[in-house]
Amino acid sequence: MASELEPEVQAIDRGLLECSAEEIAGKWLQATDLTREVYQHLAHYVPQIYCRGPNPFPQKEDMLAQHVLLGPMEWYLCGEDPTFGFPKLEQANKPSHLCGRVFKVGEPTYSCRDCAVDPTCVLCMECFLGSIHRDHRYRMTTSGGGGFCDCGDIEAWKEGPYCQKHDLNTSENEEEEDPLVHLSEDVIARTYNIFAIMFRYAVEILTWEKENELPAELELEEQSDTYYCMLFNDEVHTYEQVIYTLQKAVNCTQKEAIGFATTVDRDGRRSVRYGDFQYCEQAKSVIVRNTSRQTKPLKVQVMHSSIVAHQNFGLKLLSWLGNVIGYSDGLRRILCQVGLQEGPDGESSSLVDRLMLSDSKLWKGARSMYHQLFMSSLLMDLKYKKLFAIRFAKNYQQLQKDFMEDDHERAVSVTALSVQFFTAPTLARMLITEENLMTTIIKTFMDHLRHRDSQGRFQFERYTALQAFKFRRVQSLILDLKYVLISKPTEWSDELREKFLEGFDAFLELLKCMQGMDPITRQVGQHIEMEPEWEAAFTLQMKLTHVISMMQDWCALDEKVLIEAYKKCLAVLMQCHGGFTDGEQPITLNICGHSVETIRYCVSQEKVSIHLPVSRLLAGLHVLLSKSEVAYKFPELLPLSELSPPMLIEHPLRCLVLCAQVHAGMWRRNGFSLVNQIYYYHNVKCRREMFDKDIIMLQTGVSMMDPNHFLMIMLSRFELYQIFSTPDYGKRFSSEITHKDVVQQNNTLIEEMLYLIIMLVGERFSPGVGQVDATDEIKREIIHQLSIKPMAHSELVKSLPEDENKETGMEGVIEAVAHFKKPGLTGRGMYELKPECAKEFNLYFYHFSRAEQSKAEEAQRKLKRQNREDTALPPPVLPPFCPLFASLVNILQSDVLLCIMRTILQWAVEHNGYAWSESMLQRVLHLIGMALQEEKQHLENAMEEHVVTFTFTQKISKPGEAPNNSPSILAMLETLQNAPYLEVHKDMIRWILKTFNAIKKIRESSSTSPVAETEGTIMEESSRDKDKAERKRKAEIARLRREKIMAQMSEMQRHFIDENKELFQQTLELDASSSAVLNSPVVSDKTLIALGPAKTQISEQRQFVTCILCQEEQEVKVEDSAMVLAAFVQRSTVLSKNRNKFIQDPEKYDPLFMHPDLSCGTHTGSCGHVMHAHCWQRYFDSVQAKEQRRQQRLRLHTSYDVENGEFLCPLCECLSNTVIPLLLPPRNIFNRLNFSDQPNLSQWIRTVSQQIKALQALRKAGSASDTASSKNVEKVNELQLPEGFRPDFQPKNPYSESIKEMLTTFGTATYKVGLKVHPNEEDPRVPIMCWGSCAYTIQSIERILSDEDKPLFGPLPCRLDDCLRSLTRFAAAHWTVVSLSVVQGHFGRLFASLVPNDSHEDLPSILDIDMFHLLVSLVLAFPTLQCQDFSGISLGTGDLHIFHLVTMAHIVQILLTSCTEENGMDQENPTGEEELAVLALYKTVHQYTGSALRGTPSGWHLWRTVKAGVMPFLKCSALFFHYLNGVPSPPDFQASGTNNFEHLCNYLSLPNNLICLFQENSEIMNSLIESWCRNNEVRRYLEGERDAISYPRESNKLIDLPEDYSSLINQASNFSCPKSGGDKSRAPTLCLVCGALLCSQSYCCQTELEGEDVGACTAHTYSCGSGAGIFLRVRECQVLFLAGKTKGCFYSPPYLDDYGETDQGLRRGNPLRLCRERFRKIQKLWHQHSVTEEIGHAQEANQTLVGIDWQHL
Ligand SMILES: [Zn+2]
Ligand SMILES: [Zn+2]
Ligand SMILES: [Zn+2]
Ligand SMILES: [Zn+2]
Ligand SMILES: [Zn+2]
Ligand SMILES: [Zn+2]
Ligand SMILES: [Zn+2]
């Protein structure tokens, strides 16, 4: 069908392209009815351009639309060619000073914590960097999209509103200037015409709801039968559901379905089928049927294609309008005018109104398009922003209602624009006074919370999921209210007062509905059946917390308003609790001759609620009054006379008693919901407007009462009245009641009650209660947090209440109370309390949780012990109360409290007969201490002759009255001082008695200061003890350190101790002994030589190792059973110079020659732990069996993949996938001692060449022998075998069966992992992979040592040393388990790459061979030849000649590739021997390359280049021969800084002047050099046709990261998904290895890998890191490690804030800076191939990591 349509479509396109925009515009200019003319044009052309087939063609549509539809409008508007017209407009424009940049998703935004009026004021990165705020305290976040830069908005910033860029355009009275003056009358008129028509058209068509019919003006005569089945998004159905349904309904592939679903999710709708009506209708019904089972069905519409076409054009038009107004502020103003002009239907009929009001009916794409247009037009024009704000406020209620019905997230709702008006102070105030906005918002909110109980309170009890959903949406109204209140008025007009108070009334109505909501009754007998709903009420409370605080802040600003609000609040409280007696019986209480009337009410029996927002608001206002000037000067003017103190305290007291009873375990049967409520009541998020205010309310009430009366009421509410009012009740009580629970309960209640009294008198740190300011309050919070333990910045922030600007005020005071300690390589920076602040510690600080209190107590006592002080924690000296609260101190000396204290002390004295507790006593002691401190303060501050009425000391000296006749409190304290059972409190009692005496002295001596005297003596005393103390302290520290080390050690060994106690010690011994053996070289005086005939002979030491599994010790021997090391083999690209290269077809891949780019290496690592082979086998089998059972049962992943042979080392849990056998140096076993004359290099090459030739002939003959045997056998015999060569000789394998088996096991594992193929021990490539892994691992370690500037044979970590030794020896012994001829064949080819041989062609040129790999392979393959050679050539000779040959080849390689054309200065007279030699060699090479080698560098330069280039090779060779032959390294190598060239040459048996090698063997070398240089590839390279690696290769590093994290965010926000056409990526992720940015964790970028869908990161690791990857998730600021498809972990990022903390998830938003040490640590993990191991450890430590779908990242 498509092909038939094609010509037709093309014809249409041709026709369209023939249209002339100029002509059409001309016609429009003449038209009498322009609207009709334009509509006709659109009606005719739009359906021809848009929606002509099943799929949109955006580029083509855009092109045609521009040509046919938009072009004419632009011509019309400009009155000339728009390519000239628009630039003219732009030039005439005076652009606004607002930045207004609309944020993309993920773009970084900045807010200044010092200058932003509120946290919603943000800057774009460009403006921020050009502003003064970059040097202030700022916060950085990533935008969720929407919103714009506030640069230039003078209301948004207290200071520096303009950045450099936007400052340029400010002129003084800009606001008055009408932007239209820059436009000509004509342009204005035409713009107005065309904007009016087009804007109306767009609005009309986008809000059009009919599916089959166009507006009359757009209807065409003939209508085709072409429809779309349009699918809309909702928030109910998941991606998977939609994809699944679509595949069924429209018969598409999964890929197409994913495409549809992605577009629907992004744009809000997508046509999924195109065709006639029937065809589309059918798809619709399938979709509806399939998605309607559990939820409401997906929204689908069958729409006529012409409607869709017009709507698409409508969207295009909106974005066009947005672009056009960008040319000129005048055009923008015209558009605003057009938009807000009232339509024919009066109020709310402007185009803007119409769009807003249909917002919830529009699809996502349409919404965001017009929101963006509003932002770039209405919100950028200050005059119209105001008018728009009014329209918004007028429609507010309706918009919110629509939003409530809608299911889209708020970000795509027009209601989200509220932040743009409400946070602008003048707009907000205007809306409050003119549109009564506060009241509107609150009323709208109330309207949506309809469920009330009989008393009109909110009810959330039977609250459904739908209600919960709506409740969540309703909360955005609270946010709006917060916006309105966030900037406080600087001056009040009468209107503002009036409207604010009106709003306050509405707010009180709201609080009234909350006062007493969710009441609870204590459950007795049975446990509660169903946990009651509590979260909704608390959510409401929590969300309102800031609003309540802000209401108070507003009131505080104006005395009139404050007093009015106070009255209103009080009136509402009276309404709520006017008849608070509620029919409860009045009773009279009597203690100590005091009596009070109250009601009978028991918290444990009646209803009680934790929600008391009205009382708490009143408490807040009361404190404000107390702070105000009136309270000091004319307290009588305050409306205090109406207060009834008993009523004020009643409900808060009930609430606190409830908490006490819950704590005492009396409410256990009420379940967890109550426990949670109590928790939140005290939690830092809520306490400011809950618990704190209840305390204040009690303080308020009590300050107006007789303290004795209050205490009696309190005793009664705590249900403790009986105990304290009846003498001897206590005794009777404890003896009669045997029920232990009840005793316990009462004790707890008494403790809680005493605690409450301590709080009422002691909590004076709210400004208004005590004479303090806000900084004192915050200081005190911090001091108490840090008294528990040192804390990181973020921890501290979390424990402090935040204000509406998310500020805690901490920065201002922290320096005064704490020291900052910087973090190390791990961990965080910490704040520690300054020692001098410890005296302000209050054990009964009211914000401590119980756990915190006991931790703090312990920490503070410990500190005091360390300082050799007594351990008493006396109450701190407190600031004085404000006048309104001053009478509170009298509680301390009230008769009832003295009676309570006396009673408890009495119990303690007669400690056996009573039920009392130490905590009770401790609290009484604290109270006494407080009273003494108070009295002392009073005395010290008392004016002369002023009578101090606080006489606590006198009162406690008096004995109790009849009938008790108990001793005085003082006397009892003296008794208790010596009580053996009160050891802990002795110091406190002593402190009390001392203070008592001090006060007595003050009272006695009229005005001298005896206090100072006593303090003086104490000081003297302490200085005398100082030395002793210091010594003791040091001893203590040492002891602690020992303990810590022991603890760490036992933790480390925990796993193993569990298994076997003995083992623990033995393992330690093993570690110690083995490292001792390894690090003590057999020292000899002469030079040590690692290889060749002159190799230093060493007597091999016997090696004993202990199996970590069975604990038996064994000697490593050739014929004994094998000992193995746990090992981990992995592919690696760490050294790769070409990340695009990877093994395409592993079955055919030939690994014999490693390319110098070192791509596709195989690395072997080991933790160095030794096992018997059979013990390991048994262990592995059991792991395997266990794992299989577990997988069947739980279907869980583990951190290791058993099916792939992975296991964890049984000792250290290090990830492993095979084992390496431990061997003795293999060369010693095969070396035959026949030291006849050894051949020189050319002789040797000749001999070896002959031997190879013979073998080749034999093989040829052998393969032919299958057909005609006898004949060939003869031929073989005819062959001239070199002298002493016996190819039929088969050497005997010296190794035990067990060792042989392990040789095969490790070889096969290396082959399997390295090539990613199925294991096949017969494959000829197995030995090659083993040699390769040996070479690659040595190279990677050499790199690490060089990068870190470490000596070559310095103290390597034990595990590395063990690993390299066994790996090298293994690789050297591996040939014994492989067919000789296979290895001989490899040797032949390897050898031929340097010494040409006719039968080996297409070998790589020397440019394409890594010489170290070649060396290792040749040396390790050589024994297969040598073992059949009885001519007397030793292995050592072979090694030496191979080494020399390869070294020379490498030097030629370096000369060819690494000589730059740089001309040395002393080119003319090369002086040194080396320089002359190398120059000669260079000339030779030059000659053989046919003079293609460019330039004639100096000898000095050449020699330097060669030396530098060959160095890594020599170092690797030294390591290799060291481990192969066991010759100890010369001591010179062991110290750093001595990677000395001469030493290296000596050790390797090389001449110091390397070039001598060539001279000594010039006979053969010249021909070899010639053959190397004549190679075709070499020629191509020299002619510049190809590239080659040059030497020395540079180390690979992780990419450079920017210093400032936000530039990374910015980079990532500009990154769009490569697969979904310019869409922003949701999880942009940076590969730290190669710098690629990927679109991670998203459907769009999933690809198939080995038959499975994987995310972009996993796919990337396969090419970039051959399976392992290191990424940075930019939005989360998190490092991601991946290995394979199933493994991964997160790692802490290398970015820290100023407080030395990372910010994973970017939640705090502090500026982040690169920490180089931490980044280097990550790089080191990568270099050491430890990423996989790190993942293993992380997954073992945190099982949840195992469950993550890493492959989809
Ligand atoms: Zn900006
Ligand atoms: Zn700016
Ligand atoms: Zn600032
Ligand atoms: Zn064992
Ligand atoms: Zn281990
Ligand atoms: Zn990469
Ligand atoms: Zn993508």
- Cα 671 to averaged position of ligand 3 atoms, centre (Å): 49
Which residues, at least 6 apart from 389, have a Cβ–Cβ distance to it below 8 Å?
421, 427, 430, 431
- Cα 1214 to averaged position of ligand 5 atoms, centre (Å): 5
Query: Pseudo-torsion of CA 234, 240, 243, 246, nearest 10°?
Result: -70
- Cα 1337 to averaged position of ligand 4 atoms, centre (Å): 28
Closest C-alpha to 1674, from 1607, 1620, 1734: 1607
* Phi, psi angle pair for 1273, to nearest 5°: -55, -40
User: What pLDDT is recorded for position 1653?
Assistant: 84
- Cα 1140 to averaged position of ligand 6 atoms, centre (Å): 10
- Cα 1631 to averaged position of ligand 6 atoms, centre (Å): 5
Distance (Å) of CA 1113 to CA 1065, 1104, 1109, 1212, 1297 = 14, 7, 11, 19, 20
Proximal ligand: closest to the CA of 1620: 7
Residue 1346 is which amino acid? S
Proximal ligand: closest to the CA of 163: 2
Taking a C-beta distance cutoff of 8 angstroms, is the pair 1476, 1499 a contact?
yes
Largest distance between two CA atoms of the chain = 138
- Cα 1726 to averaged position of ligand 6 atoms, centre (Å): 13
Proximal ligand: closest to the CA of 1124: 4
- Cα 1642 to averaged position of ligand 7 atoms, centre (Å): 6
Proximal ligand: closest to the CA of 1173: 4
- Cα 74 to averaged position of ligand 1 atoms, centre (Å): 29
- Cα 821 to averaged position of ligand 3 atoms, centre (Å): 27
Q: Cis check for the bond before 1396: say yes or no (omega within 30 of 0).
A: no
Proximal ligand: closest to the CA of 1108: 4
Query: In the structure encoding, which two tokens stand for residue 946, read together?
Result: 């002023």
- Cα 1634 to averaged position of ligand 6 atoms, centre (Å): 4
Q: How many CB atoms lie within 10 A of CB 1663?
A: 15
Proximal ligand: closest to the CA of 1139: 6
User: What pLDDT is recorded for position 1725?
Assistant: 93
* Phi, psi angle pair for 232, to nearest 5°: -110, 155
Residue located via tokens 């000239």:
84
- Cα 130 to averaged position of ligand 1 atoms, centre (Å): 9
- Cα 114 to averaged position of ligand 3 atoms, centre (Å): 5
- Cα 255 to averaged position of ligand 7 atoms, centre (Å): 14
Residue 1149 burial by Cβ neighbours in a 10 Å radius (0-12, 13-18, 19+): middle
Residue 603 is which amino acid? V
Distance (Å) of CA 533 to CA 459, 461, 837, 1551, 1670 = 10, 6, 44, 88, 46
User: For the chain, percent helix, then strand, then coil, each to nearest 5?
Assistant: 55, 10, 35
- Cα 1632 to averaged position of ligand 1 atoms, centre (Å): 30
- Cα 1054 to averaged position of ligand 4 atoms, centre (Å): 20
* Phi, psi angle pair for 722, to nearest 5°: -55, -45
User: What pLDDT is recorded for position 1613?
Assistant: 83
- Cα 1524 to averaged position of ligand 4 atoms, centre (Å): 26
- Cα 1596 to averaged position of ligand 5 atoms, centre (Å): 28
β-sheet bridge partners, residue 1668? 1683
User: What pLDDT is recorded for position 7?
Assistant: 63
- Cα 152 to averaged position of ligand 1 atoms, centre (Å): 8
Secondary structure (3-state) at 1065: helix
Taking a C-beta distance cutoff of 8 angstroms, is the pair 1433, 1235 a contact?
no
Distance (Å) of CA 287 to CA 273, 291, 293, 1443, 1479 = 12, 6, 11, 74, 81
- Cα 328 to averaged position of ligand 1 atoms, centre (Å): 18
Proximal ligand: closest to the CA of 1056: 5
Query: In the structure encoding, which two tokens stand for residue 30, read together?
Result: 């003449």
Residue located via tokens 């996502």:
364
- Cα 1396 to averaged position of ligand 2 atoms, centre (Å): 71
* Phi, psi angle pair for 102, to nearest 5°: -85, 130
Closest C-alpha to 1077, from 1047, 1053, 1100: 1100
User: What pLDDT is recorded for position 405?
Assistant: 87
Alpha carbon 1317 to its chain centroid, in Å, reads: 37
Query: In the structure encoding, which two tokens stand for residue 731, read together?
Result: 């005794």
DSSP class of residue 66 equals I
Query: In the structure encoding, which two tokens stand for residue 140, read together?
Result: 């950085």
- Cα 527 to averaged position of ligand 7 atoms, centre (Å): 53
- Cα 160 to averaged position of ligand 3 atoms, centre (Å): 7
- Cα 482 to averaged position of ligand 1 atoms, centre (Å): 25
- Cα 133 to averaged position of ligand 3 atoms, centre (Å): 4
- Cα 1375 to averaged position of ligand 2 atoms, centre (Å): 72
Proximal ligand: closest to the CA of 1171: 4
- Cα 1209 to averaged position of ligand 4 atoms, centre (Å): 14
Q: How many CB atoms lie within 10 A of CB 452?
A: 12
Which residues, at least 6 apart from 870, have a Cβ–Cβ distance to it below 8 Å?
864, 987, 990, 991
Secondary structure (3-state) at 1688: strand
Residue 1165 CA to residue 1174 CA, distance in Å, equals 21
- Cα 370 to averaged position of ligand 7 atoms, centre (Å): 26
Q: How many CB atoms lie within 10 A of CB 1398?
A: 8
- Cα 1070 to averaged position of ligand 4 atoms, centre (Å): 14
β-sheet bridge partners, residue 1670? 1681
Proximal ligand: closest to the CA of 1640: 7
Proximal ligand: closest to the CA of 1621: 7
- Cα 384 to averaged position of ligand 3 atoms, centre (Å): 28
- Cα 1615 to averaged position of ligand 7 atoms, centre (Å): 10
E-assigned strand segments in 42-179? 105-112, 138-144
The residue ranges of the chain whose pLDDT is under 50 are 1-5, 172-173, 1007-1024, 1048-1085, 1268-1269, 1464, 1466
- Cα 143 to averaged position of ligand 1 atoms, centre (Å): 13
- Cα 1193 to averaged position of ligand 5 atoms, centre (Å): 28
- Cα 1624 to averaged position of ligand 7 atoms, centre (Å): 8
Per-residue H/E/C for 506-530: HHHHHHHHHCCCCCECCCCCCCCCC
Proximal ligand: closest to the CA of 1168: 5
- Cα 161 to averaged position of ligand 2 atoms, centre (Å): 8
Taking a C-beta distance cutoff of 8 angstroms, is the pair 1216, 1209 a contact?
yes
Query: Pseudo-torsion of CA 812, 816, 822, 826, nearest 10°?
Result: -70
Q: Cis check for the bond before 1357: say yes or no (omega within 30 of 0).
A: no
Residue 65 CA to residue 477 CA, distance in Å, equals 42
Residue 420 CA to residue 835 CA, distance in Å, equals 48
> Which residues make up the environment of ion ligand 2, defined by Cβ < 5 Å?
99, 127, 151, 163, 166
- Cα 1210 to averaged position of ligand 5 atoms, centre (Å): 6
Which residues, at least 6 apart from 421, have a Cβ–Cβ distance to it below 8 Å?
385, 388, 389, 392, 393, 427, 428, 431
